[in-house]
Amino acid sequence: MNPAAAAKASVLDLAPVIPVVVIDDPTDALPLARALVTGGLPAIEVTLRTPAALDAIRAIADGVPDAVVGAGTIVSPENVTAAADAGARFLVSPGWTPTLLDAMAASGLPYLPGVSTTSEVVALLERGVTEMKFFPAEAAGGTPYLKSLGGPLPQARFCPTGGISATSAPTYLALPNVGCVGGSWMLPPDAVAAKDWARVESLAREASTLR
């Protein structure tokens, strides 16, 4: 989370899991978000990977007051502006550049810039950013890598995302420098396609108890 939002509750502390959501049909946004929130996962990252994403964020922000909806796959200043205008309450990027970081900071929203190397973490700490996304978590070294970072850089906190499952999530969550994890296992494609929101809610409830 950026310094300007330090007084606000951290996105990393809202729940042990942030669902990473890809929405193709905007009419799925409200029932999907309600299922996640009812299941105990209020922070929802809607990735900007589909044409429906901004409409989905807008619908969730307007129609599910208990949800803390954020925008993921932020890769440009234009993404930042569009997500903020749609009602996103936090921003998540897979990586960062100085230009992108400045845009996210200027938005006034909490943000989690993506990192996968020690140098990227140190560079963010130099700029006062202590909360970040570790991506792609499994491919970039997983829990051994994050555990190694905890010694020299204990002030950095992470939301690992990428390849994490219900089975591996508890191992990440046991690390002191992990605030939460991001994942999509509570949103099986077949359940979403069938609009089986009861199943999504049940899987979300299981995920909410992982820590």
Element at 131 (helix H, strand E) = strand 131-134
Residue 35: count of CB within 10 angstroms of its CB:
26
For 16, 40, 84, 197, the CA distances from 104, given in Å and listed in that order, are: 24, 27, 10, 33
Question: What is the chain's alpha carbon radius of gyration, rounded to the nearest angstrom?
Answer: 16
Return the exposure string of 165-204: e unless at least 16 CB atoms fall within 10 Å of the residue's CB, then b. eeebbeebbebebbbbbbbbbbbeeebbeeeebebbbebb
Tokens of 102: 């400045």
User: CB of 181 within 8 A of CB of 41?
Assistant: no
Whether 71 contacts 79, CB under 8 Å: yes
Enumerate the active-site residues.
45, 133
How many other CB atoms are found less than 10 A from the CB of residue 23?
Answer: 25
- What are 133's strand-pairing partners? 114, 159
